[in-house]
Structure formats: C-alpha cells, structure tokens
A and B are shown apart, each in its own frame.
Chain A
Amino acid sequence: AQSVAQPEDQVNVAEGNPLTVKCTYSVSGNPYLFWYVQYPNRGLQFLLKYITGDNLVKGSYGFEAEFNKSQTSFHLKKPSALVSDSALYFCAVKEGGNNRKLIWGLGTSLAVNP
C-alpha cells in the first residue's frame, strides 16, 4: 500500500540557517512526489514536484527537494530560512501512470525563529 511518512512533527530553525523537512514514501511503482505548504487558515499551496528527470527539483520561494530512490526519500530543503517560511508542510505521493489519488503525510510544522 502507498504511504508517506514525515518523521518530524515539528522542525525549529533559526532565520538564515538551512532547513530540511524530511519525507519518506512507499509506493509499488514509480512515484510522483509533491510538497505542499499550508499557512495558517489557508489552503494547500503547491511548492514543487518530482515526476522524472533530475533528482534535484527547485520550486517556489527558494525551496528545493531531492529525490533519492534508494532511500525512498524526498526531503525538502532551503539554504537560508525566513521567518515567513513558518507554516505546515505536507509531503504527498502518487503512483505514476493514470493514478490520480494523492497519499499524504501527517505534515511537519516548521517554525523559523528570528
């Protein structure tokens, strides 16, 4: 069965420091991987995705993520965190092909301290 794990409920980082939000996944076929961000009282906003090609994908607001097939991971990173990055981050996966259903992690709350 497909699943996504975000092992950290919360990540705290100082402004200006690099941040990593971890995600591992399990699918039976080739994965399509996504990161979404949710600001307080807002919807789910797309950040970036991996479908195929280069393992390092770049997205909105300076975020990037690296697909690692051997470790079945897709960690979200940013070289220098901003206070405004504080939000809830969700990793999601779906199998390639015609499958349309996203399977979600529980989310990781990122707090960037000034």
Chain B
Amino acid sequence: EPEVTQTPSHQVTQMGQEVILRCVPISNHLYFYWYRQILGQKVEFLVSFYNNEISEKSEIFDDQFSVERPDGSNFTLKIRSTKLEDSAMYFCASSGRTSGNTIYFGEGSWLTVV
C-alpha cells in the first residue's frame, strides 16, 4: 500500500538553528500538507500546498516557516530559526484531487529544540 514517508524520524537541534523536515508524499497525490502536534495538545494544521504553491496556511505558519517541492517527489518544511516552542511532532500528509479524498499521514518527525 502506498504511504507517506518522512525523514528524519527524530531531530534534536539548538535554538536558532535552521531545520528541514523532508517528506515523500504518495506518488499520484496532488495536495500536500504539514500538521504538527505539540505534546499533549491537539493536532494543528500548518499549511497546504497545491500546484507548486501554498493554498492555505494557518496563523502558526509565520515567516519562519516555508515549504518547498524541490523536485517531483519531495516536499519539505523549513523552519528558519527554531524556537523552544517549535518542539513538536510534525506530520506530513497528502491527498488526491477531490476534497473528500482521504488525507494520508506519514509517521511523523519528532523535533526537539534545546
């Protein structure tokens, strides 16, 4: 069964450093997403991406965040200057063309900022 894959599974970084989280969405999917889950809190939407541009973003997704699809398979989330409060599990997801299509998630990248 096709799946979304994410790397790294866990990353520890110092405050102020840049982090890039990588994702390979399901190959025939057209919409790509990043969500995050701070420990003990709700899963939160960060951004959706379609046709090589951001289609929607949340208030959390400020100027320190950026997304990119550098080639035909990868989808990345960059955090420019990490803060302690960025520590969270980051989930990449993808879905097909139709709004009712299921959104499939990867295993997550656990980011710890120290």
Encode contact with B along A90-114: 1 for CB under 8 Å, 0 otherwise: 1010101111111111110000000
- A60 nearest CB across to chain B (Å): 11
**In the complex, which range does the number of interface residues on chain A fall in?**
20 to 34
B102, A99: Cβ atoms closer than 8 Å: no
A105, B33: Cβ atoms closer than 8 Å: no
B95, A43: Cβ atoms closer than 8 Å: no
Q: Which residue of B lies closest to A97 (CB)?
A: B99
- A107 nearest CB across to chain B (Å): 8
Count chain B residues whose beta carbon lies closer than 8 angstroms to a beta carbon of A: 26
Pick the interface stretch among A20-28, A44-52, A67-75, A77-85: A44-52
Q: Which residue of A lies closest to B9 (CB)?
A: A41
B68 at the interface (CB under 8 A from A): no
A34 at the interface (CB under 8 A from B): yes
Within 8 A of A (CB), among B62-103: 91, 93, 95, 99-100, 102-103
B43 at the interface (CB under 8 A from A): yes
Q: Which residue of A lies closest to B110 (CB)?
A: A41
* Alpha-carbon gap, A107 to B33, bound state (A): 20
In the complex, which residues of chain B have a beta carbon less than 8 angstroms from the beta carbon of A43? Answer: 4, 6, 91, 105-108
Instruction: Using A51-B100, A90-B43, A106-B42 as known contacts, say yes or no to A100 and B95 having CB atoms under 8 A apart.
Output: yes
In the complex, which residues of chain B have a beta carbon less than 8 angstroms from the beta carbon of A45? Answer: 105
* Alpha-carbon gap, A45 to B107, bound state (A): 9
B28 at the interface (CB under 8 A from A): no
A34, B43: Cβ atoms closer than 8 Å: no
Besides the known contacts A44-B91, A100-B31, 11 further A-B residue pairs in the complex with CB atoms under 8 A apart:
A34-B103, A36-B105, A42-B107, A43-B106, A44-B105, A97-B99, A101-B45, A102-B35, A102-B103, A104-B42, A105-B42
Q: Spell out B's residues near A (CB within 8 Å).
A: 4, 6, 31, 33, 35, 41-45, 48, 55-56, 58, 91, 93, 95, 99-100, 102-108
